[in-house]
Structure 1
Amino acid sequence: MRKWRLGAWLGLILGIVVSLSGCASQSTSRTKSSSSSQQPKSAYVTSSRPTFYVHGFQGSAQSTNTLIKHAEKTAHAHKVYVATVSTSGQVTLSGNWSAKTRNPIIQVVFKNNLAQYDQQSAWLAKVITTVQQAHHFSSYNIVAHSAGCVASVNMLMTKQASDFPTINKLVTIAGPFDGVVGEDDVANQNSFLASGEPKYLHAAYELLAAKRANFPNGVHLLNVVGNLDDGTNSDSLVTNVSARSIKYLTRGHQVVYTEKDFHGKHAQHSQLHENAKVALTIDRYLWHR
């Protein structure tokens, strides 16, 4: 009898231990599942929309390398192509754009980096078309510096084929839309009239103003302006009035305009594309949730 009672007690205790073990296992499983489902999302989106980085007058790949590397590190973007345009206008793509690439970037390099705005505009349109033929997309972004800003805006004001993709976001960095200091502009000479139009209209501005009716509607525009804070109200080459004059050109086109001003020595014309704060501002503008 005692042996039977002892066996019964041992069986009961073993059953309780197994039951508790099973409950603990289920609880751990639920905790892991709950923890997995509550993983924080990335602060940056996952998009297949390409972004074209365009350098300026006398520029090269070096002009956009820092911005692109920052985007790759911060916004999980990936440079998929380098689009090189020969002096004769032939476009060569080097790189690979796989189907699931996150936030793809195309770096545009003009071998003739002294070409006029209208020529670079035509080349940029050809780059976009060439990339679209290699990897289909319906909309795109542009990040441009200096003369690349004018070439990009001029391209957007030029009628393209009906199947040409649609611009989504445009980032202009130190755009000389209404003149360059030392060429056709002077520091602190120009100003805005009550209407928002610049008092003096230089050659580049007149070129764009004549075509402004063609600018697309609904574009999101981030305009980056540099000020050395040395009394010139410029980044050394582009006055603040010249850079800001893009806003008046796009009036009436439902443009969502955002302006970011940067100050000090790192806001110098060529330093703007090396400035980490500028790069972060661009990354957040293009890809932040």
Structure 2
Amino acid sequence: MLDIKKRRWVWRGVIAIVAVCLAALFYGTAIQPAPHRENLSHVEQQAINVPTLFVPGWHSTSYSTQLITDDIVSLGVTDTVTTVRVTPEGKFIFIGPKIDPHSRQLIRIIFENNRGGEVQYTRWLHNLLAYLYKHRQLKKVNLVGHSMGAYASTLYTFQYGKDAGHGLPKVNKLVTLAGPFDGIIGRQPVSAFFHPNDGTTWTDQPHQNRLAANGRPVLVHPEYDRLEKYAPQVPKTLRMLNIYGDLGDGSQSDGVVTVPSATSIGYLVKPRIAVFQQVKVIGPNAQHSALHEHNWQVTQNIVKFLWPTFAGTAAKMVR
């Protein structure tokens, strides 16, 4: 009888020890700090804790930047998103948390006049960043632009790059999606597809243009000529990712922007900036608007480029 009682106590002790060990293991795992945040070095934290502005394109809506920022939030990069409505008069209406210059905050821009054109978008972007520099102490920023927003982000970086630290924040990293750097697909006559505010033409055509051996487009539209004028002023420290689409239907385009137009930016930046990367998306997901609408391939590349410490999480996302 005594032996039986002893054995019971022994087993109870073993079970208790195992339970404690399992609880400790589970608890320890549960409270471990997120490896992408707390375990970063001070230098790494400084490198990725930069607010990122999302600049929409022609005829954009509130959803134009919401879908891609929602995807980024779902990866745990940040949970802080602020919207800025830019009125036709150039005034700013902020919706959401106050902008923190030392965070991974996402800032979604909405142009209330969504047909202002790429040069007007550049002006508004310049004024917004000057405001944030002065009133929110924003000294460094990332830019992500789609379509005409990609063009505006690039033109801003070229035109005002020399002013970084003198009333304007430094552009740390630039991501362009479907940038119409050398024209947009349209139809003749030219007069029917000419934007009077900035000289944008919708006159490019599939297979009409090509890049020369040195990377410069053979046919130069007014948009490209403007970028080429300001390209020498681009900051040498800039890191740029250019993402473009090819439907794979023989048009060599995303349906709106041809591959030569979207990739012509390489000629202007490769010899001048610190890093230039390019990603080609092929197939139905490469359609012009689809490039920023829950497009996991695009989001993965953006996250890897802007916040490399979250690249592992992005690679595991469910498609």
Letter matched to residue 149 of structure 2: G
The aligned runs of 1:89-238 (5 Å cut-off) are: 89-97=90-98, 103-159=104-160, 160=163, 162-182=166-186, 183-238=202-257
| Residue 81 (structure 1) aligns with | 82
**How far 1:75 moved relative to its partner?**
3.8
The aligned runs of 1:234-253 (5 Å cut-off) are: 234-253=253-272
Percent identical = 31
**How far 1:42 moved relative to its partner?**
3.2
Of residues 213-222 and 96-105 in structure 1, the stretch that sits farther from structure 2 once superposed is 96-105
Q: 1:196 to 1:114 in 2, by over 3 A?
A: same
Letter matched to residue 258 of structure 1: Q
2:60 and 2:221 map into 1 onto residues whose CA distance is: 22
> What SS class does the counterpart of residue 132 from structure 1 fall into?
helix
| Residue 42 (structure 1) aligns with | 35
Gaps of 5+ in 1: 1-19
> What SS class does the counterpart of residue 167 from structure 1 fall into?
strand
Q: 1:42 to 1:102 in 2, by over 3 A?
A: farther
1:98 and 1:156 map into 2 onto residues whose CA distance is: 21
| Residue 58 (structure 1) aligns with | 59
**How far 1:62 moved relative to its partner?**
0.9
- Corresponding position: 1:254 with 2:273: yes
2:98 and 2:57 map into 1 onto residues whose CA distance is: 25
Q: 1:249 to 1:136 in 2, by over 3 A?
A: same
2:86 and 2:230 map into 1 onto residues whose CA distance is: 25
**How far 1:78 moved relative to its partner?**
3.0
2:274 and 2:205 map into 1 onto residues whose CA distance is: 29
**How far 1:196 moved relative to its partner?**
1.2
Larger RCO of the pair (alpha carbons < 8 Å, separation 6+): 1
- Corresponding position: 1:278 with 2:298: yes
**How far 1:203 moved relative to its partner?**
1.1
Q: Is the 8 A contact 1:80 1:95 kept in 2?
A: yes
Question: What TM-score comes out, normalization by structure 1 length?
Answer: 0.83
**How far 1:134 moved relative to its partner?**
4.1
Deviations 1:208-234 (A, max 9, x none): 111111111121111111010000110
Deviations 1:253-275 (A, max 9, x none): 22311111111111100111111
Q: Is the 8 A contact 1:180 1:237 kept in 2?
A: yes
Regions of 4+ moved over 6 Å: none
Of residues 79-88 and 147-156 in structure 1, the stretch that sits farther from structure 2 once superposed is 79-88
Of residues 170-179 and 245-254 in structure 1, the stretch that sits farther from structure 2 once superposed is 245-254
Q: Is the 8 A contact 2:238 2:274 kept in 1?
A: yes
1:65 and 1:84 map into 2 onto residues whose CA distance is: 13
Number of equivalences: 269
Q: 1:41 to 1:77 in 2, by over 3 A?
A: closer
**How far 1:174 moved relative to its partner?**
0.2
Gaps of 5+ in 2: 1-12, 187-201, 310-319
Q: 1:181 to 1:100 in 2, by over 3 A?
A: closer
Q: Is the 8 A contact 1:78 1:102 kept in 2?
A: no
1:249 and 1:284 map into 2 onto residues whose CA distance is: 24
Of residues 157-166 and 230-239 in structure 1, the stretch that sits farther from structure 2 once superposed is 157-166
Letter matched to residue 297 of structure 2: K
Letter matched to residue 276 of structure 1: W
Q: Which has the larger radius of gyration?
A: 1
Q: Is the 8 A contact 2:84 2:95 kept in 1?
A: yes
Aligned CA-pair RMSD: 3.0
